A and B are shown apart, each in its own frame.
Chain A
Amino acid sequence: MMPNPNSFNNGNLAVEARNMHVYYGNFRAVKDISLKVKRNAITAFIGPSGCGKSTVLRSFNRMNDLVTTARVEGEILYHGNNIYDNDVDPVEIRRRIGMVFQKPNPFPKSIYENVAWGARINGYKGDMDELVESSLRQAALWDEVKDKLNESGYSLSGGQQQRLCIARTVAVKPDIILMDEPTSALDPVATLRIEELIQDLKEKYTIIIVTHNMQQAARASDYTAFFNMDRDRAGYLVEYDRTPDIFTTPQNELTEQYITGRFG
């Protein structure tokens, strides 16, 4: 049986938020988030719109730094260090904690260059052809694109584009992959392919996925965190547990209402 989140320790911990608050200007968007994410597992963040799940996700690789008014209080511990410490390079953090977005966003370049790009700017010295192939294979895209690597990334279907973005992310060899509603722009078949893919990816990476689709969280994740928006409009963590427990016997009445579709 999968360990309970309360028992995660240094041996299996990927990243941990401790008493984290995120502000946009004076507005507190999320409050007092404490959450341990297990290594080589898939953790889903679910909750109604505005509950702060994407904000929490983005704070795990300092993506919120890009919003000038954003401010993070508390700690995000990664390998024992707070990623918000002054001496931490956010670019290095984002290399090790990669991100895949809601809408596939390939660069206006060839399929090959889309994958090679991140490695190139990081000064990758190895065999680039090999890296591109292995990344595309990990993203379950190689067989579909191996004969047209020089074609534009835009020539691919939406689902293929998203897998291309996943290949681009794994090419820089991250530890953790953050996914912000990665299938919400995809049809059901492409969605299931991505879900299958992340099952394979967790062998090598830790995955955190924000999804509006509860069935997706139930199908594809090992752990589920349910967030809600409080009266002061700040998002907070309601319940966090093994996915089978959340979807069969949630402990919190709000979780029950949300996942049974009787919320609000």
Chain B
Amino acid sequence: MPRTLFDRDLQALQNQILQLGSEVEENLITAVTTLQQFDARTARMLIHADEDINAARIKIGLDALTLIATQQPFAGDMRRIAAIIEIVGELERIHDYVKGIAKISLMLQETPINPALLRDFSPMAEKSREMLHNSLTAFAERDAALARQIPPEDDVVDELYNQIYLQLLQAIMQKPEMVEQVNTLSWALHNLERAADRVINICEWVVYMVEGVYREMDSELEAPPFVGR
């Protein structure tokens, strides 16, 4: 027996998540471009967009709570709504990193940085975006196996992080007067790395949604499940 109204509302919530997710994906790439191109106008646009993302997060969260109150979901339905509430929070936080990178790009307007230092930000952003995209596909298709494949890819992001960080240190040693700018840039690097970490959280909630077990998927530690039998 289908639950037509409830299923329709759940699907609508899921669609809102996917739409929000694709905006976050796009803005993640754009943020790095503003950094590389010293594009103040687009950077300001991204900072402004963060308010819309926050509002969308609140709306999705409240809609999810309304569904709990009116439909009393259990089991798989309940876990799906729990995942929606958690994932929308992660998307909002990832966009905070986007906003952070945009702000840094404004701070670096006055004394532009050697473009060579910014080159490797692109593959790192692209890898983070790809991980985010795949995590949302896993959510939409309730594919726990796909969700499990994503966290190990964070090693690629971490490797790029270390590589770029080393380049930044070398740049400071070569031009100590650039220490402030390069240090500021390192925060953009840090934001990018954290965005990919947040994708791992999304994957954890997808697995919980599908299988009912919440397990940390951070590749550095093999943690026991928090929930489950």
Contact = CB atoms under 8 A, between A and B. Distances in A.
Interface of A: 4, 214-215, 218, 245, 247-250, 255-256, 259-264
A137 to B, nearest CB: 33
Contact of A260 (B76, B213, B228): B76
B212 interface: yes
Contacts of B76: 256, 260
Contacts of A4: 229
Interface stretch (B13-21, B67-75, B143-151, B182-190): B67-75
B1 A264 contact: yes
A249 B228 contact: yes
B11 to A, nearest CB: 14
Given A245-B229, A249-B212, A249-B229, A256 B75 contact: yes
A150 B212 CA distance: 55
25 contacts: A4-B229, A215-B72, A218-B74, A247-B78, A248-B74, A248-B75, A248-B78, A248-B79, A248-B212, A249-B79, A249-B212, A249-B213, A249-B229, A259-B74, A260-B3, A260-B73, A260-B74, A260-B75, A260-B76, A261-B1, A261-B3, A261-B6, A262-B2, A262-B3, A264-B1
Interface residues of B, number: 17
Contacts of A250: 75
B216 interface: no
B39 interface: no
Most B CB contacts (10 A, CB to CB) among A215, A247, A250, A260 go to: A260
The B contact surface, by secondary structure, is loop
Contacts of A263: 1
Nearest to B6: A261
What 5 A-B pairs come out closest when comparing CB atoms? A249-B212, A259-B74, A247-B74, A260-B77, A256-B75
A218 B78 CA distance: 13
Interface of B: 1-3, 6, 72-79, 212-213, 227-229
Contacts of A245: 229
B4 to A, nearest CB: 11
A214 B74 contact: yes
B204 to A, nearest CB: 15
Given A261-B3, A262-B1, A262-B2, A247 B75 contact: yes
Given A262-B3, A263-B1, A264-B1, 9 more contacts: A247-B74, A248-B74, A249-B75, A249-B229, A256-B76, A260-B75, A260-B76, A262-B1, A262-B2
A259 B3 CA distance: 12
A259 B229 CA distance: 19
Contacts of A255: 75
Contacts of A260: 3, 73-77
A256 B72 CA distance: 14
Contacts of B227: 249
A245 B78 CA distance: 12
B83 to A, nearest CB: 12
A94 B3 CA distance: 42
A104 B77 CA distance: 35
A214 B72 CA distance: 10
Nearest to B211: A249
B30 to A, nearest CB: 39
Contacts of A214: 74
Instruction: Indicate the member of B2, B3, B76, B229 with the most A CB atoms within 10 Å.
Output: B76
Contacts of A262: 1-3
Contacts of B72: 215
A247 B78 CA distance: 9
B227 to A, nearest CB: 8
Contacts of B74: 214, 218, 247-248, 259-260
Contacts of A259: 74-75
A247 B228 CA distance: 12
Contacts of A256: 75-76
Nearest to B77: A260
Contacts of A248: 74-75, 78-79, 212
A249 B6 CA distance: 19
B71 to A, nearest CB: 9
A263 B72 CA distance: 16
A255 B1 CA distance: 14
Nearest to B208: A249
Contacts of B228: 249
Contacts of B78: 247-248
